[in-house]
Amino acid sequence: MKALILNSGLGHRMGVLTSEHPKCMTEVSPADTILSRQLKQCADYGISEVVMTTGYYDKVLVDYCNFLHLPLKFTFVNNPLYDKTNYIYSIWCAQEYLRDDDILLMHGDLVFENRVLDAVLGSESSCMAVSSTLPLPEKDFKAVIKDGRIEKVGIEFFDSAMAAQPLYKLLKADWLVWLDNIGRFCDAGTRQCYAENAFNEVSGKCIIRPVDVQDMLCSEIDTPQDLETVSARLAQVSSRNVYMCFSTEYIHSGHIAIIKKAKRLGRLTIGVLSDEAVASFKRFPLMPFEERKALVANIAGVANVVEQKTLSYADNLRALKPDFVVHGDDWVNGFQKPIREEVIAVLAEYGGQLVEYPYSSDPKYKELDKMHRAELAMPDLRRGRLRKLLNMKGLVTAIEAHSGITGLIAEKTTVLQDGKTYQFDAMWISSLCDSTAKGKPDIELVDMTSRFRTIDDIMEVTTKPIIFDGDTGGLTEHFIYTVRSLERMGVSMVIIEDKTGLKKNSLFGTEVEQTQDSIENFCAKIAAGKKAQKTHDFMICARIESLILERGMDDALTRAFAFVGAGADAIMIHSRKKDPAEIFEFVQKFREQDKVTPIVVVPTSFNTVTEDEFKARGVNIVIYANQLTRTGFPAMQDAARTILEHHRAKECDDKCMSIKDIITLIPEE
Ligand code: SPV
Ligand code: MG
């Protein structure tokens, strides 16, 4: 597309302001003249060729354009009869340069804000800027609109008309129809009328649609009074603030493109999501907040960067009161829809506006995302994430997974509530559920090789950190190897319980015979494990069975401090009571002496306590240890029974996921 800017006129109504240069060189802001603004806008919107008609102060104008050093190729065409003809003839003088492309046509005295250019250039058909909200001007252009297109343009039309501005986008086919008629006018000696007179005769073949720019700034400057009004409006437009939110860790061309559009609307502030918000919304950020902030701050056009602590924009919008919020249109549906609705509501509180641009879904962005995901699944990155999450969130949640599919449920289940997204932070590979899935009792019968196989199945399809239920840890000599293997695989934490001999599930409590290990032995096992590990990331958590085995609170606490002394990175305190009192008592007494060692709980029995309450009391990891197994198996038993009862599968159908859903449940990577 080429720009055609008409600058041949005398601009005599401007008085002394045009005594030394053409009107377009009049200053409209401290930084710009009418013309420099137009030219910068052209360059910014990717227009590289400008055809400019000249006349009055021709040389001053040409020198000025070159002096601006913009990435534009100029073709200047002088209208030798500039003082005797109108711009219809200037256009005709330049016609040989105007036949090979679409045209953005503007008068040289027109000042318009970028939103106007967005609307005009965004039009798929030829168009002209009109306003449905401005009163019809007495002496300026009006456009007669019929059947969604412009029938006539002129100062004399008032019926079915709207105020119109000489800013057109003209597709080549339409433009050539108009241009040829301009030629007929000029050849016939009709050179003192508007080019629009030629258009009015051929408007049936040159289809120009109105683009309604309402009360956006789009005005010609004809008089010193116009200059004052337009300059004041321009100052307002330039002081507008724009807000966008970014959660990304890498910048691709799609981000740059939307930033470029956003900054055209005003001074751009970017809200960078906090690590915690990113972790809850997407997945754990590989790059911490400060680095993401620096990345965004250094993008050209970004004036300011602030932290956005939640997915909800509300706090930042109320604090910053931006005139515009910019976003891709991908959030119109889907899980971000409520966030969008809240943005619209908050903007309405003070008269702000949401501007949405089409979302760019280039396949290479998906590829980048996939690579990023793959990185998160790599052992070194996955292993260290549990510690990072603990530091970041204070309280981490984990849900049981015992297979690829339960791993995917743990990985992908998300709930949007009160403008926040919730998902599990980590996965727990329970001995109970791993054994149950294999139809075996939870007595350390499923050997480590088989348990590692389960870890591998889960790791293959997920990225979240893994906490492994290591039962008793086995013999110390064996535990060393287990630690090394788990660490190498990328597991973040192993929890071993202070029992010995034939281990039974803790939820049996004292109903079965269980032997608690001595403090000395168990400390030695912990110390040996800590010595064996190679990285700082891997964590060994000591699980205390004193409350399960009814050995009392003092025993539990004595063990806890001894195990921490032996090197345990965390303590898990277990109970099978419904009442959380003994867990709370333990946490309180432990925290009186140790403020930092993470505490883990498994609230299978004491399941009324919320995560917030646990956090407030000083707990750091909450493990939902068996709920997927306990909900999945009854559903399967019920299906099996239903088929047996009816001797066919029909009655079972309503209980089943559709075949289509099940085959699309797992996307092919
Ligand atoms: C498991 O999930 O295997 C556990 C927790 O060890 S519990 O079943 O509560 O003992
Ligand atoms: Mg277990």
Counting ligands in written order, which one lies closest to the CA of residue 428? 1
Which DSSP helix (H) or strand (E) runs through 416?
A: strand 415-417
Counting ligands in written order, which one lies closest to the CA of residue 629? 1
Q: What gap in Å lies between CA 547 and CA 514, rounded to an integer?
A: 13
- Give ion ligand 2 contacts, CB < 5 A: 431-432, 469
Nearest ligand 1 atom to alpha carbon 442: 3
Nearest ligand 1 atom to alpha carbon 428: 2
Which residue has a Cα nearest atom 5 of ligand 1? 625
Nearest ligand 1 atom to alpha carbon 543: 6
Counting ligands in written order, which one lies closest to the CA of residue 624? 1
> What's the pLDDT score for residue 372?
79
Q: 483 CA to middle of ligand 2, Å?
A: 17
What class is the 378-625 domain?
alpha beta
Please give the CATH topology (third level) of the domain spanning 240-364: Rossmann fold (3.40.50)
Q: 572 CA to middle of ligand 1, Å?
A: 11
Q: 505 CA to middle of ligand 1, Å?
A: 6
Show Cβ contacts of residue 508 under 8 Å, excluding neighbours closer than 6 positions. 514
Nearest ligand 1 atom to alpha carbon 434: 3
Q: What gap in Å lies between CA 655 and CA 265, rounded to an integer?
A: 53
* Below-70 pLDDT ranges, the chain: 11, 15-17, 282, 419, 667-669
Mutate to test the pocket of ligand 1, among 504, 505, 547 (most ligand atoms within 8 A of CB): 505
Which residue has a Cα nearest atom 2 of ligand 1? 430
Residues with CB under 6 A from ligand 1: 430-432, 442, 469, 505-507, 602, 604, 625-626
Helix segments in 31-113, DSSP class H: 34-44, 58-67, 87-93
pLDDT in tens, 81-122: 988 888 999 999 999 999 999 999 999 999 999 999 999 999
Please identify which of the residues 109, 118, 442, 469 carries the catalytic annotation.
442
Show Cβ contacts of residue 378 under 8 Å, excluding neighbours closer than 6 positions. 490
Mutate to test the pocket of ligand 1, among 623, 626, 630 (most ligand atoms within 8 A of CB): 626
Q: What is the per-residue DSSP string for 515-565?
A: EEPPHHHHHHHHHHHHHH--SSS-EEEEEE-TTTTT--HHHHHHHHHHHHH
Nearest ligand 1 atom to alpha carbon 576: 9
Which residue has a Cα nearest atom 10 of ligand 1? 506
Counting ligands in written order, which one lies closest to the CA of residue 400? 1
Q: 506 CA to middle of ligand 1, Å?
A: 7
Which DSSP helix (H) or strand (E) runs through 230?
A: helix 224-238
Domain ranges of the chain: 2-235, 240-364, 378-625, 631-665
Residues 516-545 as b/e (b if ≥16 CB within 10 A, e otherwise) read: bbebeebbebbbbbbebbeeebbbbbbbbb
Nearest ligand 1 atom to alpha carbon 400: 2
Q: 469 CA to middle of ligand 2, Å?
A: 6
The type of residue at 17 is L
Show Cβ contacts of residue 610 under 8 Å, excluding neighbours closer than 6 positions. none
547 near 516, Cβ under 8 Å?
Answer: no
Torsion angle in degrees (nearest 10) through CA of 388, 392, 393, 399: -20
Counting ligands in written order, which one lies closest to the CA of residue 607? 1
The reply to whether 240-364 shares the fold of 2-235 is: no
Mutate to test the pocket of ligand 1, among 429, 471, 506 (most ligand atoms within 8 A of CB): 506
Distance linking the first and last C-alpha atoms of the chain: 41
281 near 420, Cβ under 8 Å?
Answer: no
> What's the pLDDT score for residue 590?
98
Considering the domain delimited by 2-235, tell me its CATH architecture: Alpha-Beta Complex (3.90)
Q: What is the per-residue DSSP string for 573-615?
A: E----SSTHHHHHHHHHHHHH-SSS-EEE--SSSTT--HHHHH
Q: 495 CA to middle of ligand 2, Å?
A: 9
Q: What gap in Å lies between CA 8 and CA 87, rounded to an integer?
A: 7
Nearest Cα to Cα of residue 73 among 30, 39, 25: 39
Look up 442 and say whether it is catalytic.
yes
pLDDT in tens, 115-143: 999 999 999 999 999 999 999 998 899 99
Mutate to test the pocket of ligand 1, among 400, 443, 468, 507 (most ligand atoms within 8 A of CB): 507
Which residue has a Cα nearest atom 7 of ligand 1? 506
Place of tokens 């995302």: 369
Q: 637 CA to middle of ligand 1, Å?
A: 22
Q: 604 CA to middle of ligand 1, Å?
A: 9
Nearest ligand 1 atom to alpha carbon 471: 6
Tell me if residue 490 falls in helix, strand or coil.
coil
Place of tokens 């306003």: 131
Q: 505 CA to middle of ligand 2, Å?
A: 6
